[in-house]
Amino acid sequence: MQALVLEQKGKLSLREIDLPLEVGPGDVKIEIDTVGVCGSDVHYYTHGAIGPYVLREAMVLGHEAAGTVVEIGAQVNNLKVGDRVCMEPGIPNLSSRASKLGLYNVDPDVRFWATPPIHGVLAPYTVHPAAFTYKLPDNVSFEEGAMVEPFAIGMQAATRARLQPGDVAAVIGAGPIGIMVALAALAGGCARVFISDLSADKLKIAAQYPGIIPVNVREQPFADVIAEQTSGWGADVVFEASGSPKAYQGMFDLVRPGGAFVLVGLPVEPVPFDVASAISKEVRIETVFRYANIFDRALELIASGKVDLKPLITGTFDFSQSIAAFERAAAGHASDVKLQIKLKA
Ligand code: ZN
Residue type, 256: R
Residues in CB range of 36: below 8 A, 6 or more apart: 62, 64, 65, 146, 147, 149, 150, 338, 339, 340, 341
**Three-state secondary structure string covering the chain:** CEEEEEEECCEEEEEECCCCCCCCCCEEEEEEEEEECCHHHHHHHHHCEECCEECCCCEECCCEEEEEEEEECCCCCCCCCCCEEEECCEECCCCCHHHHCCCHHHCCCCEECCECCECCCCCCEEEEEHHHEEECCCCCCHHHHCCHHHHHHHHHHHHHHCCCCCCEEEEECCCHHHHHHHHHHHHCCCCEEEEEECCHHHHHHHHCCCCEEEEECCCCCHHHHHHHHCCCCCEEEEEECCCCHHHHCCHHHCEEEEEEEEECCCCCCCCCCCHHHHHHCCCEEEECCCCCCCHHHHHHHHHHCCCCCHHHEEEEEEHHHHHHHHHHHHHCCCCCCEEEEECCC
Distance 131 CA to ligand 1 centre (A): 20
Distance 38 CA to ligand 1 centre (A): 4
170: Cα within 13 Å, side-chain hemisphere: 32
Helix axes 200-207, 176-187, angle to 10 degrees: 30
Nearest CA-CA partner of 174 in 208, 145, 144, 148: 208
- Asked if domains 2-147+309-342 and 154-287 share a fold, the reply is no
Distance 180 CA to ligand 1 centre (A): 11
Report residue 76: phi and psi, to 5°.
-85, 125
Q: Is the pLDDT of residue 288 over 80?
A: yes
Q: How far is CA 163 from the centre of its chain?
A: 19
Distance 276 CA to ligand 1 centre (A): 34
Q: So what's the pLDDT on residue 268?
A: 83
Distance 85 CA to ligand 1 centre (A): 17
Report residue 129: phi and psi, to 5°.
-60, 135
What pLDDT digit, counting tens, does each position of 76-109 carry? 999 999 999 999 999 999 999 999 999 999 999 9
Distance 198 CA to ligand 1 centre (A): 22
CATH no., domain 2-147+309-342: 3.90.180.10
What pLDDT digit, counting tens, does each position of 116-139 carry? 999 999 999 999 999 999 999 999
Q: How far is CA 168 from the centre of its chain?
A: 22
* Structural domain boundaries in the chain: 2-147+309-342, 154-287
Percentage of the chain surpassing pLDDT 90? Answer: 97
Distance 40 CA to ligand 1 centre (A): 6
Report residue 202: phi and psi, to 5°.
-65, -40
Alpha-carbon gap, residue 151 to 140, rounded angstroms: 14
Q: So what's the pLDDT on residue 202?
A: 95
Q: Is the pLDDT of residue 312 over 90?
A: yes
Distance 41 CA to ligand 1 centre (A): 8
Residues in CB range of 12: below 8 A, 6 or more apart: 4, 5, 6, 45, 61, 322, 323, 326
Spatial contact of 30 and 127, defined as CB atoms under 8 Å apart: yes
Distance 176 CA to ligand 1 centre (A): 10
CATH architecture of 154-287: 3-Layer(aba) Sandwich (3.40)
How confident is residue 51, by pLDDT bands cut at 50, 70 and 90? Answer: confident
Distance 282 CA to ligand 1 centre (A): 32
Q: So what's the pLDDT on residue 269?
A: 87
Distance 65 CA to ligand 1 centre (A): 10
Mean pLDDT estimate for the chain: 96
